[in-house]
Structure 1
Amino acid sequence: MESKLNIENLWSLPQKVLFRFFFSYFALFILFKNNGAYPFYGYIQNFFQKVLYDFIPWVGKSILGISYEIKTGPNGSGDTTYDYVLLFTIFCIAIVSCIVWSILDTKRKNYDKLYYWITLAIRFYVGLMLINYGMVKVIQLQFSQPSMYRLTQNYGDSSPMGLAWTFLGFSKGYNMFMGIAEIAAVLLLFRRTLVFGLIITLMTTANVMAVNYFYDVPVKILSTHLFLMSAFLLAHSFGALFQFFFFRKPVVLKDIFKPKFGNITSKIFFGIKAFLLIYALGYGAYSTLESKEKYYGEASKSRMQGLFEIDDFSVKNDSITPDSLKVKPWKYLMISSKQYAQVKYAEGGRGKWYKLNVDSLENKISLTDYRDSTKIFDLKFSKLDSINYQFDGTFTKDTIFVKAKRYEDYRKKFLLTNRGFHWINERPYNR
């Protein structure tokens, strides 16, 4: 019986060599670049990071000859120098591991058991990662609706990533569509639905990867590996799918070999899977909704929330100081939350963010420069009518006077956000 099993599952030399490399590579990637896919894995990852934050910069400087400082720690980008040096290190270790493994393990007939475990790890890595990404799209947290900053920005001044975020965030329906496609990765967690889920996931990750590459979004490494991992899993059934789709031949999909477990072990695995599903779908939805409420809910909004379009801006210089010469005329004052506000200048440019404080009793607002807390706009405001406001106050020793129109629902002011949906269009409305 043993010899028959080995004959039936005899792997070719190229299959074994490729498996050794991909097993090493993907296992190390999941360990070192988990990205929060596995619940509570952060506690384990902290151990690796303490070593890697010293070792990876050393590799970059001593082996790759990188002269500038390699910064560690998260900063919103997944494509930093540190990340690429880490990827190079993982690749090199996987190559060495594959060579040593191939030299020491020459009599192995197959790697069915190891294949099961690595595919299990990849299935849950890709599945849980995409479920998380899908949640923040369905609830429209990742791609929020175009903000005041975007709507008042010159079209040509937006970055490729900013353009993509505006495009993707404009439509709630498209967010829902993308989110459901990514949440469909839940099918990867079940062996019976694995192939069907992989077909969807491969297309979904290919689209995400394309957006990241062609709009310069700094998540290229992760999206590429989600695609590669999906392709690696689907490779098991590629031959049968090729015969079915291109030659119209009836096929039977070969199931992944599964080791036999006792009743207690099987129940433990079932409990772990149930926990992961509940955590990913239940707690994932809860935490995403909680984050949306925190950043975009009513509790985050300011009494003065809205877009203020400046009609008149004047400065009286009570003393000739360097600061007084830096007070530029405003075009917009944008208040989007209780903590932050942004000023855009009449002469153009990117504008400037300020820390915001609103005193509702005294009808005062203060705008504090992020880089220099001594530079503060202290302004008292009064409402002239339903839309017009007046601001009087000081900046250092200068007197500031502002008149502005307030658009509380600022989206009605812009064509992009007030155009709406039309079933019938007699002509293309392309502006």
Structure 2
Amino acid sequence: MSFTEIPAPSSGWKIYEKIAVRTALIYAVISTIPFTPEFYLQDFDAGFNVNSYAFRWLDVISQNKPWFFASQEGKNYTGWFITVLVCFAAGFIWNIIDKNRKNFESLYYWFYVAARYGIALRMSWFAWAKVFPVQMPFPTISQLNTNLGDFTPGKLYWLTTGVSPFFEVFAGVFELIATLLIIFRRTTTLGAIMMVSILLPIWFVNIGYDAGVELTSLHILSLSLLLLVRDGRRFWEILIEHKAVALTYIPKIVFPEQWKNTARLVLKGSFIALFIVYRGFGYGNLYASGKSFKLPLDNGLTETNGLYSVSEFKVNNQTIPSTPGDTTRWQNVVFEKFNSISIKIDKPFKINTKNSIRTTEYYANIGRYYYGYKADTINKIFTLSNRADTASKLILHYEHPDDKQFVLSGINERKDSIYVVLKKIEKKYPLEEKRKY
């Protein structure tokens, strides 16, 4: 049995193979290069900056989606299927227009390039975000104090993965190795096999937990499978019939102009430097800073993070007792290590699972109101902005007589005066205690 690669045959292309390679090339190109105007209207620098190291734009570039014929939510199979049909129609028309072409190996080569770099563009993002576990961070204090039933299955999966950084790092290393192998032609087949073994369970996990990004995993999986289709029969002969069969080797195109060959090397080196090395440095820097791009990056008030009970609560100078089912009184408050305050209130919530807010704390869970805050430590004033509705603000004066107590007073969203006394609860979390060892 042999796994030695042999050059791809240059003749004998059947009509359906000619259409298929053109269709695959179009699909690989439009899924890598953005053609929708909305993509270029994004704020490429918003949100992600740690110690003056900005890499938000790298992540935006990696998130292009080709299924632009319908809504761009993570389960848009209709749009994806329409895109595939349009690519097939374009490939069919192209085959009629270019019917005299003899060299289909060059077309397959360009598909090979577009698919490999399209996969690497996306997977380098997912891989580094797991190698340095910032994609699925350890649960916040607010999440540790949210009822299990208040999470969606998708959010629960992300949290349970976040409590096991060892598994997350292992998965990231495996994804990074597969990404690196796919970039180089001689190891592309091995990288694609690894990528399929990674993405198939990820796709099913996204379906089973309704995690909202199942189409992205299916898309990358489909590109990985397309890289292996040409050797489908050979894999059968090797694995099932136990024959000595050589896999197809795709040679590079040598241009007659030397500057084009040099440009190709420069572009490949730049891709690796930017999306592998530079991106890896960015996520390493983010992790070293104790941050995660799934959570706010601004630091909170020093040494205030923790869970607080509400020992006294007044609205318009009237004391509101702690009563189950009361929709006005705060039940407890959490100060995070970053600039978020979450408030537990016993009132109906509308769950938010829009992909556009996946990087916020309130995505896919209910039970708490989340506020970003700015602290004026001189005048002792909190300015709170609701994370879900930034137009909703609270201006609260605070007193912090000791490490165990906060006293808040001011005006709430309904223009009522409020007075709140918070007392810190020294609570131990088994998940966090296990994390220390």
Shorter-chain TM band: 0.7 to 0.9
- Give me the whole-angstrom Cα distance separating, in 2, the residues matched to 1:267 and 1:132: 27
Deviation string, structure 1 residues 303-360 (Cα, Å, up to 9, x no partner)? 144222305133153379xxxxx97332321122553211112678622122323344
Task: Check whether the contact 1:6–1:110 (CA below 8 A) recurs between aligned residues.
Answer: no
1:426 is aligned to none
Number of aligned positions between the proteins: 378
Structure 1 equivalent of residue 424 of structure 2? 405
What is the identity, as a one-letter code, of the residue corresponding to 1:278? A
Paired AA for residue 15 in structure 1: E
Indicate whether 1:91 and 2:107 are aligned.
Answer: no
1:287-302 map, 5 Å: 287-292=282-287, 293=289, 295=291, 300-302=299-301
Match of 2:269 in 1: 274
Conserved in 2, the CA contact under 8 Å of 1:319 and 1:397? Answer: no
Could you tell me how far 1:245 is from its partner in structure 2?
1.8
Higher RCO (C-alpha under 8 Å, 6+ residues apart):
2
Contact 1:364–1:379 (8 Å) recurs in 2:
yes
Residues 309 and 331 of structure 1 are in contact (CA less than 8 Å); yes or no, is this contact kept in structure 2?
Answer: no
Structure 1 residues 251 and 339 mapped into 2: Cα distance closer, same or farther (>3 Å)?
same
Q: Deviations over 1:104-130 (max 9, x none)?
A: 344445511010011111101102321
Change (3 A) 1:84 1:9: same
Deviation (angstroms), 1:298? 9.2
Kept in 2: contact 1:368–1:377 (CA 8 A): no
* Structure 1 residue 281, shift from structure 2 partner: 2.1
Could you tell me how far 1:233 is from its partner in structure 2? 0.3
Residues 359 and 242 from structure 1, CA distance in 2 versus in 1: closer, same or farther, beyond 3 angstroms?
Answer: same
Distance 1:265 1:366, change over 3 A: closer
Equivalent in the alignment of 2:374: 357
AA matched with 1:18? A
Secondary structure at the counterpart of residue 31 of structure 2? helix
Confirm whether residue 120 of structure 1 aligns to residue 105 of structure 2: no
Q: Give the alignment's TM-score, normalised by structure 1.
A: 0.75
Letter in 1 for 2:424: K
2:125 maps to amino acid: N
Using the TM superposition, give the Cα deviation of residue 225 of structure 1 relative to its aligned residue in structure 2, in angstroms.
1.2
Q: Secondary structure at the match of 2:313?
A: strand
More helix by share: 1
Q: Is the 8 A contact 1:134 1:182 kept in 2?
A: yes
Take 1:159 and 1:336, find their aligned partners in 2: how far apart are those partners?
Answer: 22
Once residues 60 and 394 of structure 2 are traced to their aligned partners in structure 1, the CA distance between those partners, rounded to angstroms, is: 40
- Following superposition, the deviation at residue 416 of structure 1 comes to 2.6
Map 1:228-377 → 2, pairs under 5 A:
228-262=222-256, 263-292=258-287, 293=289, 295=291, 300-310=299-309, 312-315=311-314, 317-318=316-317, 328-337=328-337, 339-345=339-345, 350-361=367-378, 365-369=382-386, 370=389, 373=392, 375-377=394-396
Say whether the 8 Å CA contact 1:201–1:230 is kept in structure 2: yes
- 1:100 and 2:120 aligned: no
Match of 1:64? Answer: none
Q: CA deviation at 1:364?
A: 5.3
The equivalent residue for 1:393 is 409
**Aligned counterparts of 2:248 and 2:390: Cα–Cα separation in 1:** 62
1:187 alignment partner in structure 2: 181
Q: Deviations over 1:198-249 (max 9, x none)?
A: 1111111212222222222222222111001000001122222222222222
Normalised TM-score (structure 2): 0.74
Give the stretch that moved more between structures: 202-211 or 169-178: 202-211
The match for 2:132 is 139
2:272 partner amino acid:
L
RMSD: 3.8
Cα separation, partners in 2 of 1:6 and 1:339, compared to 1, 3 Å? closer
Seen in structure 2, the aligned counterparts of structure 1 residues 84 and 379 have a Cα distance that, compared at 3 Å, is farther
Unaligned runs of 5+ in 1: 61-69, 321-325, 423-431
**Inter-CA distance 390–264: structure 2 relative to 1 (3 Å threshold):** closer
Cα 1:177/1:338, change in 2 over 3 Å: closer
Q: 1:107 to 1:317 in 2, by over 3 A?
A: closer
1:300 partner SS: coil
Structure with the greater alpha carbon radius of gyration: 1
Q: Amino acid of the residue matched to residue 354 of structure 1?
A: Y
Distance 1:196 1:27 in 2: 22
Counterpart CA distance in 1 for 2:277 and 2:301 is 31
